[in-house]
Amino acid sequence: MSLNSTTSRIIESVSAELLDEDGLMEVEVIDYGSAAGETYETPTKISNPFNFDPRRFLPNCEIMDLDRFVTIASELIADAQDREGTVEDERVILVEDYPAEEFSRFGEEVVAWKLIERAPANMSRDAGSRPQKGYTHYYKVRSPKHPNKWLEVEARPLDHIIEFQCWSKSARLANRRALWLERLLVNHSWAFLVQGADRVRFEKRLADWYTVPSGQHLYVRPLRFSFRAYEFRIKANPVVKHLTFEAGSMTSSELNTKGY
């Protein structure tokens, strides 16, 4: 700060980066409640556009497969009970194929899943024939990290049949849980579709049965669902496949003539 008898002036030093207007990105925020809008500017530094990672803008970053399908089903079962206000002692969970553990740890009931079939999808019009056993072209892409490569993504469709078994100490509870689970998964099939499943269908409910391990009556109500997912693989093909070199000899005068 410099002072004299008549004037006071304050000088502030700021970083040159704060004054750099290169790379400013304009974002227009529109208020749909009125016709007016406001415009803001924020400095955005993009060092290399080829390294831009778009995954955080995508609705799904995981490929749909069997593990992902089971995870979503488990989340749906838990979320539905949260919304219904089910008390902790009456909650049902999804586990792998029972009986692998003591039933007493699950309370009165449990839902178990197991894989019945995983096979190449039938691609005929009626989905009854012409299984797609091999991979087919999906798309091609060039990467700046591999300038001499075409990256070709190939895919094959796989159909899965999953059986959900509703186990309970009571036949009445087992019947109610089977109907509850069927409605839940049918009405929320969109949750699997938005995560990458090609199709999700309720196939059928199988015959009721019961078992008596260690003298304990357990009633089972099986449901079967099918879903189609795609398996992917990547192949790299070179862009430049042949390089031809010509070798020879020249005199010093020829080199000077050609300007080498």
Q: Report pLDDT for 59.
A: 47
Cβ burial, residue 218 (10 Å; 0-12/13-18/19+): buried
Cα(209)–Cα(219) distance, integer angstroms: 6
Residue 236 per-residue DSSP state: E
Q: What is the 3-state secondary structure (H, E, C) of 73-120?
A: HHHHHHHHHHHHCCCHHHCCCEEECCCCCCHHHHCCEEEEEEEEEEEE
Digit-coded pLDDT (tens) for 148-193 = 677 777 888 899 999 999 999 999 999 999 999 999 999 999 999 9
Q: Report pLDDT for 52.
A: 47
Cβ burial, residue 51 (10 Å; 0-12/13-18/19+): exposed
Q: Report pLDDT for 174.
A: 95
Q: Report pLDDT for 150.
A: 72
CB 105 within 8 A of CB 212: no
Tell me which residues of the chain have a pLDDT lower than 70: 1-61, 98-101, 126-128, 137-138, 143, 145-148, 236-260
Q: Report pLDDT for 255.
A: 60
Task: Specify the amino acid at residue 76.
Answer: L
The pTM assigned to this predicted structure is 0.62
